[in-house]
Structure 1
Amino acid sequence: MSNRREASALFMRKQCGIDHTRTLIGQRVYICCPIPVCLTDEKCVRLDKCPHLRDILNSENVTPAKKEIMRRQCGIDASQRFLEHRMYICCPKMGTFLPKDEKCGQGTEEAGLSELPWLAMLFYQNTTTWDPILDFNCEGSLINNRYVLTAAHCVVPGKEISMDLVLRKVRLGEQSNPDWVGLNAGKKRFAFGPSDFEVEDVIVHQNYTKSYVNDIALLRLEIPVRYTNQIAPICVPRAHTALKKSALRIAAWKMTNNGKPSQILLQSTIRENKQRCSKKFKYFDRPSQICAGVHGETDTCLGDSGGPLMGNITLSIYVVGISSYAAQPCGQKGVPGVYTKTGVYYKWIVKSLKP
């Protein structure tokens, strides 16, 4: 009951007038209602018809997540008594849905802002120092409005992630590093509208091993993401596709071959090469891993662990692999990197999704 009173209090603060004319239900209250701004993947529905957002509003405390959901209000029926019936909300699809092929993986051709709107940055807090400044250590890929796909080793302490680091948030919509302003042909490059999300749940593949087999995980965000030009999902392949002749792409903020962070988002093209990984890496697993490199001297480096290996299937871009591991130092000439085959885990991904 207290949760409803709390939500009603938030709601009534939008009051901007009263009609004192008596009706069968008493005085009519007028509300300053925001202009309906539901996005293409949302529908303006009554709150009780959108349980995944209603449950957030019914949480015990007034949280940033609850305030954000209140900003998604798109209408009001003041004649109704209960909040669930009065409030209309921009309701997205539930988190169990992966977008259709024509609704995902739609990037641009130029290396500019919003080219890869599914890229996610993972930020961690040091629990030894409790430094409020979070560390960026891994990447991920937005696959629907509630889930980010990444590598298991990015969320299981002991490999790249030390025991004293805890995942705190995911940043979406940031396509140049927030710590720098890069230059491109003499022009400053900024990322517009990055958004940070708390992580509600972490799902690691049940058979993940420290030798990087089954190196895949899902991050469930606290609230559904709203798609924009800077934030949109990548497609997930339903099965593994032959990649031998395909040009594959990687992108990262820390991908230079001298081990230093880049100032802006970098991209490179690489190709599959199974034989090199079988010779180079003892635990390379052909059924579940992709071996890809080396175009010039480019390969993955620290910072892009968990990030997508991208390939074009039909007219959309798919996350065909997840950056898992490579030789150190990274970017060595002739030494490829290893990626988890996303398509092999399609059924696991779908089964792990919740509303």
Structure 2
Amino acid sequence: MNVSLIFVVILLNVIKESVLVSIRNDKVLVNRPFNNRSSSPTNFEHFRRKRYLGLSKRFKINKRYQECVAPDDAKGHCKHLIFCPMHVLKNAKNVLDYLCVIERMHVGVCCPDDIALSGLAGSQIISDLPGGGDDYDEKDNTTGCGIPIEGNPGGKKSIGQQWPWIAALYRPKEMAQGLEQQFCGGSVITEYHILTAAHCTLGLTADEIRVRLGEYNFAQANESRSVDHIVESITDHEDFDKATYANDISIIKLRTATSFNSYIWPICLPPIDRDFVNEVAIVAGWGQVYYAGPVSEVLRHVEVPVWTLEKCANSFLQRITDSNLCAAGYDGGKDSCLGDSGGPLMFQLENGRWITIGIVSWGIGCGNKGSPGIYTKVSSYIPWIIKNTIAK
């Protein structure tokens, strides 16, 4: 190993440690799982089990910074060393020529924008995840998370491709016996990770569930290029409370990486300094079409305004916190419902990127006037998400 490469390895370890220390010093809540959870949704009738639903500058650990010229004269951007694979630099005569400075504070490396074009394994879309919706400008519409379907590679738009980041969680035994379709949903945030609600996964083991990506119509086989994934692990938030649904967030890790295409694509994480009050968001899933009604075989969505926290808190006896978002039609009728747990509350930023601002958590009834759906506020958990995805 030459001196230049040794220098880069040392810098890599130093930056990795500084990132982990930074994350450990952030406020992260701690898990008290409960046992003997019944798989029957009737035990949670008063809560709705909705389907499974950017990083601010402070948490933009994995992003592209200033433009630069990478090895082999490839177009690139300065990135933190730990997010540019070391073998990218293997053909560089002098590694030091490709070092750069990030925000006058950190040493980075000029990493090719399209690693795939460099003849290397993986691609830019994978190496930049999870990503923040505000990490991109309007002109950058071909790579990265949260790209509208018209920006995704391959094929013409179909209704089944409208929300390519939505995952369906199902239990193989129950599905095989015709007892249930999917029981919750989720959002693709990296090629390995699904963001979901803790009340969906708590008490379940990895081998008891599967994750289906790219699905649209459960009643029609082969109408989309859906893929079923085996689950490697489940990480529920350490402080999830079954009584209040506080910290209702979980991350599922897939055993094998998914491939991104026009049916499967990751969604972006939200900025932490925006509350989206009075904005119109979209919630989607396969849950009940109305309270106590049948579940939907096709993926459905509805537009819902985000309520003020004060208006929401006045609608419930249970405490609503700053880590919640509330959304539903003001006059009722527009809401998520039983079976939609864990699904995303989605919003499209001004730059065109879609972000998940909420995770479907709980509610009383479905679509009742004056009783909005309660969501886990994703921006409140950015450090926790980083800690349990790219920082591991």
Aligned match of 2:258: 225
Aligned match of 1:236: 269
Q: Which whole-Å deviations, capped at 9, do the CAs of 1:74-127 have from their partners, x for residues lacking one?
A: 9xxxxxxxxxxxxx9843577894146441112248881211100000012459
Equivalent of residue 247 in structure 1, options 263, 269, 280? 280
Alignment of 1:334-345 (within 5 A): 334-345=370-381
Q: Report runs of 4+ in structure 1 exceeding 4 Å deviation.
A: 92-96, 129-135, 163-166
- Percent identity of equivalent pairs: 29
Per mean C-alpha deviation after superposition, the further-off stretch among 269-278 and 335-344 is 269-278
Letter of the 1:283 partner, please give it.
Q
Letter of the 1:200 partner, please give it.
E
CA shift at 1:336, angstroms?
A: 0.6
Aligned match of 1:11: none
1:262 correspondence with 2:296 = yes
Equivalent of residue 106 in structure 1, options 135, 147, 150? 147
Aligned match of 1:208: 240
Q: In structure 2, what is the Cα distance between the partners aligned to 1:165 and 1:135?
A: 18
Letter of the 1:152 partner, please give it.
A
Number of equivalent positions: 257
Structure 2: stretches of 5+ with no match in the other structure:
1-85, 89-115, 137-143, 151-156
Q: In structure 1, what is the Cα distance between the partners aligned to 2:357 and 2:273?
A: 7
Letter of the 1:91 partner, please give it.
G
Q: In structure 2, what is the Cα distance between the partners aligned to 1:164 and 1:108?
A: 33
Q: In structure 1, what is the Cα distance between the partners aligned to 2:288 and 2:158?
A: 15
Q: Which has the higher contact order (CA 8 A, sep 6+)?
A: 2
1:149 correspondence with 2:195 = yes
Change (3 A) 1:100 1:308: closer
Equivalent of residue 163 in structure 2, options 116, 120, 128? 116
1:179 correspondence with 2:179 = no
Change (3 A) 1:97 1:180: closer
| Higher CA-based Rg | 1
Q: In structure 2, what is the Cα distance between the partners aligned to 1:268 and 1:134?
A: 23
Alignment of 1:1-355 (within 5 A): 90-92=121-123, 97-99=129-131, 101=133, 102=136, 103-108=144-149, 112-125=159-172, 131=177, 135-157=181-203, 167-176=208-217, 178-180=218-220, 191-210=223-242, 211-258=244-291, 259-273=293-307, 274-294=309-329, 296-314=332-350, 315-328=352-365, 330-354=366-390
Q: Write 1 or 2 for the structure with the bigger share of strand.
A: 1
Structure 1: stretches of 5+ with no match in the other structure:
1-47, 51-73, 75-87, 158-162, 182-189
Q: In structure 2, what is the Cα distance between the partners aligned to 1:164 and 1:233?
A: 24
Change (3 A) 1:253 1:134: closer
Q: In structure 2, what is the Cα distance between the partners aligned to 1:180 and 1:335?
A: 34
TM-score in terms of structure 1 length: 0.64
Q: In structure 1, what is the Cα distance between the partners aligned to 2:288 and 2:165?
A: 18
Please tell me whether the aligned partners of residues 255 and 301 of structure 1 are also in contact (alpha carbons under 8 angstroms).
Answer: yes
Q: In structure 2, what is the Cα distance between the partners aligned to 1:89 and 1:133?
A: 45
Query: Tell me, what secondary structure is at the counterpart of 1:153?
Result: helix
Q: Which whole-Å deviations, capped at 9, do the CAs of 1:242-285 have from their partners, x for residues lacking one?
A: 21221110111124224222242211111122344313333333
CA shift at 1:335, angstroms?
A: 1.7
Change (3 A) 1:89 1:170: farther
CA shift at 1:130, angstroms?
A: 9.0
CA shift at 1:136, angstroms?
A: 1.1
Q: In structure 2, what is the Cα distance between the partners aligned to 1:212 and 1:226?
A: 33
Please tell me whether the aligned partners of residues 95 and 147 of structure 1 are also in contact (alpha carbons under 8 angstroms).
Answer: no
Structure 1 vs Structure 2 CA RMSD: 3.2
Letter of the 2:317 partner, please give it.
K
CA shift at 1:225, angstroms?
A: 1.1
Change (3 A) 1:150 1:300: same
Change (3 A) 1:277 1:166: farther
Q: In structure 2, what is the Cα distance between the partners aligned to 1:319 and 1:148?
A: 12
Please tell me whether the aligned partners of residues 283 and 302 of structure 2 are also in contact (alpha carbons under 8 angstroms).
Answer: yes
Q: Write 1 or 2 for the structure with the bigger share of helix.
A: 2
